[in-house]
Amino acid sequence: MNNTYKISVLPGDGIGPEVTNETVKVLKACAERFNFKLDFDTQLIGAVSIDKTGIPLTDEVVESCLASDVTLLGAIEDSKYDSDPILEVRPEEGLLKLRQSLGLYANIRAVEISNSSIEQSPLKSAVVDGTDIVIFRELTGGIYSGKKELTTKKDSDFCEYSVSEIERMAHLAFKAAEDRSGRLCLVGKANVLENSRLWRKVVTEIAFDYPDVELTYMYVDNASMQLVSNPKQFDVILTENMFGDILSDLASVLSGSLGRLASSSIGNSAALFESYQDSYSQLKGLNKANPIATILSGALLLDYLGEKEGAKEIIKAVSWTIKEGLSTENVNLNNPISCSSVGNNVVDYIRKKGKMSAIKLVDVEENFLYR
């Protein structure tokens, strides 16, 4: 009997619908080839949800995600909400609510520089060559989720963490370091912040359970400089919510494009997959967005579901498209192809089991059958 999985799809704003559409196409191709079934449930989140319902995420959408095996997210953000700092309802609040509702406490972002992506990096090849970093960002605590006060006398965002929140993150990061090179760097600001001192105390105690992992510490300002001057020194980075958001975006630039890096957020019984990139509203509807990061997030999604073969095939297909120069204009300036054409090429590779001819799918209008 075939395995059947329910996937909540939240395309969101900007280029979100375009990149998630390509990912759904790829996931369907994997399901056909590797004999499992996917049931997609598309819902609203972000600015499009505000426009239709008045809020960025409804309880009905949360219930749908809770009833699904996994959630695939596009992008959340709309420039029309950025120009007014006193708006009470913002698209990003939908994502924060979703993380809290699903109990997604760990965001995992990987930055690996391959031979095919070195030339795209704004840094020298000698600096980024061989970079392979995984950042573990705590997702439900800290200043993002702390109590917020706005009055005539006090404007405050509280940064709070419990020992249990730090412990569960630390164990994930230590286990990842054990499976990699055995190096873990805790990033904080313990010389100034009390919560960073708590992080250091708790993580140091847990380190005794992982004798094969070398634990080091770094202040966040220094870590920012080190990521661009000597990124190869890092393997696994562990940090709190705000610092993790900033550092992972900074690290993503090492590859030259946010549109090529995947991300997963996990909890005890739920998981969400998305790319690094924002909604990039300038490209909305132009079919120029790079879908690779979201497609790779689809690989992480299948791996999480236990469909390992499908996950590996997506990675191989993406590697092939990059090697062949079948990329959107943010990567291939001289001969770019469209967002949907990138998706079509990945699908074609999967369906043909990698036996590709010299003719690539470039004109999306000729390949509507993949819709």
Rounded to whole angstroms, the Cα distance separating 275 from 263 reads 5
- Rounded alpha-carbon distances, angstroms, from residue 316 to 311, 353, 359: 9, 10, 18
| 144 is an active site residue | yes
User: How far from 9 is each of 28, 39, 233, CA to CA, in Å?
Assistant: 13, 10, 37
Burial string for 115-128 (b: 16+ CB within 10 Å, else e) reads ebbbebbebeeebb
Q: Which one from 245, 284, 349, 370 is the annotated catalytic residue?
A: 245
Q: CB-based contacts of 106: which residues, under 8 Å, 6+ apart?
A: 136, 137, 138, 139, 168, 169, 172, 265, 266, 267
> Which residue in the list 39, 82, 221, 363 is annotated as catalytic?
221
Instruction: Give the CA distances from residue 20 to residues 23, 295, 337, 356, in Å, rounded to whole numbers and listed in that order.
Output: 5, 8, 17, 24
5, 144, 276, 370: the active-site residue: 144
> Could you tell me which residues are beta bridge partners of residue 39?
6
Asked if residue 173 lies in contact with residue 139, where contact means CB atoms within 8 angstroms, the answer is no
- The alpha carbon of residue 108 and the mean position of all alpha carbons in its chain are separated, in whole angstroms, by 7
Q: How is 76-119 classified by DSSP, letter by letter?
A: ---GGGTS-TT-S--THHHHHHHHHHHT--EEEEEEE--TTTGG
Q: How far apart are CA 260 and CA 290, in angstroms?
A: 7
Question: Please, which residues bridge with residue 155 across strands?
Answer: 150
Structure-token match 């993949």, residue found: 370
Annotation says 209 is catalytic: no
Q: Is 19 helix (H, G, I), strand (E, B) or coil?
A: helix
Alpha-carbon dihedral 108, 111, 116, 121, rounded to 10 degrees? 140
Q: Catalytic residue among 51, 132, 157, 249, which?
A: 249
155 included as an active-site residue = no
Asked about 13 being catalytic, the answer comes back as: no
CA pair distance 133, 109, nearest whole angstrom: 8
**From residue 8, how far is each of 42, 150, 312 by CA, in Å?**
6, 35, 22
**249 a catalytic residue:** yes
Annotated catalytic residue within 6, 28, 189, 232: 189
What CA–CA distance (Å, rounded) separates 187 from 216?
9
- Show which residues are catalytic: 144, 189, 221, 245, 249
